[in-house]
């Protein structure tokens, strides 16, 4: 008879012997046995998302599975949670079609006229902000990008909380804020939108993709390096773009990238409008890349002024369709300009500059 204190012996084939004892570590084999450094490399191989800009929303939505995948991994075990959380919370993002605990957020077009649908976007954004600033304030260090759509019916409440929370994110470098509202409503709320950011400063922000009428936010980003107006803002009149550019020059003179700046209906407002843009742009000491959206062909004199901007390397021009510019006309103008750039001595000062021309099917 074996004593109750005597340890029984088991054969190597015994299934009991292969089970972990009370002091045996679990997950000693396979993926979870890897050190954090290797796990980080594995997570780094996940398909990356593009940095937000006015034309990147579709690309971001195409990677909608990324966030749910990271959320699932973070709830698997401590090892994967520790590694996946920085990837999960590097973005605060809310957009139509995004998967949430209550289902996908409705499309923007479906939202119009249905304010309850818009509230789902607001609730999801407020939930994420609460997680990284109240429930788990350490997560605020993970946030690098904010990419959100703000509905019309919750614009003031959400913006005030967003403005406050952004100050708590020291590594935040890029913001893209889309307003789900009509142009008329936005203009009515413009004063509030610009005032809500005034108490704060965001020196950490380097890239801003927002409505160009949100100059109050841009004014609080003194170290901004790149500004991209949101697509919804391209339809505004050009004089507002001039005011926006002046505000950026005053508050963020170190900007290196500007685009896409709409210059609308120059034949009606005045032929010197494009010159105003160029004059302001020439005062940015570090400007490297500028992008204009034009409805008419600039003259050689206008282009020569652009060519004289000292540090400018890339000049992008996108032509709209408001004056029914044909592809052939654009090609002919482009070829004419390329010949002038190579042969006209007035362009010699900018030999290192590159001209990139494109067309857009929709109007600005």
The confidence score (pLDDT) of residue 261 equals 80
Region 133-151: mean pLDDT is 93
CB–CB of 97/64 below 8 Å? yes
- Say whether 147 sits in a helix, a strand or coil: strand
Q: Which pLDDT band holds residue 323 (cuts at 50, 70, 90)? A: low
What lies within 8 Å, CB to CB, of 93 at 6+ separation is: 60, 67, 145, 146, 147, 148
| Nearest alpha carbon to residue 312 among 339, 336, 292, 337 | 292
CB–CB of 239/205 below 8 Å? no
Q: Residue 54 above 80 pLDDT?
A: no
Q: Tell me the pLDDT of the chain averaged across its residues.
A: 78
Q: Residue 268 above 50 pLDDT?
A: no
Cα end-to-end distance, the chain, whole Å:
92
- Which tens digits make up the pLDDT trace of 271-301? 577 788 889 999 999 999 999 888 788 888 8
204 vs 191 pLDDT, higher one: 204
- Which tens digits make up the pLDDT trace of 148-200? 888 877 888 999 999 999 999 999 999 999 887 666 777 778 888 889 999 99
Region 50-66: mean pLDDT is 58
The confidence score (pLDDT) of residue 30 equals 58
Q: Residue 234 above 70 pLDDT?
A: no
CB–CB of 81/74 below 8 Å? yes
Q: How far apart are CA 253 and CA 98, in angstroms?
A: 36
Q: Residue 25 above 70 pLDDT?
A: no
Q: How far apart are CA 354 and CA 359, in angstroms?
A: 17
Q: Residue 107 above 80 pLDDT?
A: no
Region 124-130: mean pLDDT is 95
Region 119-137: mean pLDDT is 93
pLDDT over 90 percentage in the chain: 32
């Amino acid at each position: 008879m074996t004593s109750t204190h005597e340890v029984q012996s088991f054969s190597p084939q015994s299934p009991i012997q292969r089970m972990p004892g009370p002091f045996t570590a679990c997950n000693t084999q396979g993926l979870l046995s890897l050190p954090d450094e290797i796990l980080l490399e594995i997570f780094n191989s996940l398909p990356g998302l593009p940095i937000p800009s006015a034309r990147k929303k579709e690309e971001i939505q195409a990677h909608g599975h990324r966030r749910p995948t990271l959320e699932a991994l973070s709830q698997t075990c401590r090892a994967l949670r520790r590694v996946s959380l920085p990837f999960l919370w590097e973005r605060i993002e809310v957009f139509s079609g995004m998967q949430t605990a209550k289902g996908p957020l409705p499309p923007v077009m479906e939202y119009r006229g249905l304010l309850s649908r818009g509230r789902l976007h607001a609730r999801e954004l407020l939930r994420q902000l609460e997680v990284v600033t109240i429930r788990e304030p350490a997560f605020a260090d993970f946030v690098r990008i904010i990419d959100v759509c703000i509905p019309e019916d919750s614009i003031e409440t959400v913006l005030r909380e967003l403005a406050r929370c952004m100050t708590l994110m020291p590594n935040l470098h890029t913001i893209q804020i889309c307003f789900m509202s009509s142009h008329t409503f936005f203009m009515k709320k413009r004063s509030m939108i610009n005032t809500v950011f005034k108490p704060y400063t965001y020196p950490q922000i380097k890239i801003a993709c927002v409505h160009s009428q949100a100059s109050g936010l841009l004014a609080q980003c003194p170290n901004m390096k790149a500004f991209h107006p949101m697509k919804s803002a391209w339809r505004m009149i050009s004089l507002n773009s001039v005011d926006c550019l002046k505000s950026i020059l005053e508050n963020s003179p170190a900007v290196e990238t500007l685009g896409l700046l709409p210059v609308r209906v120059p034949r009606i407002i005045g032929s010197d409008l494009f010159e105003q843009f160029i004059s302001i742009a020439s005062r940015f000491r570090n400007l490297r890349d500028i992008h204009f959206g034009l409805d008419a062909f600039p003259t050689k004199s206008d282009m020569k002024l652009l060519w004289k901007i000292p540090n400018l390397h890339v000049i992008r021009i996108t032509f709209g369709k408001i004056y029914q510019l044909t592809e052939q006309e654009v090609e002919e103008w482009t070829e004419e300009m390329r010949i002038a750039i190579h042969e006209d001595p007035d362009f010699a000062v900018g030999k290192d500059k590159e001209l990139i021309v494109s067309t857009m099917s929709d109007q600005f």
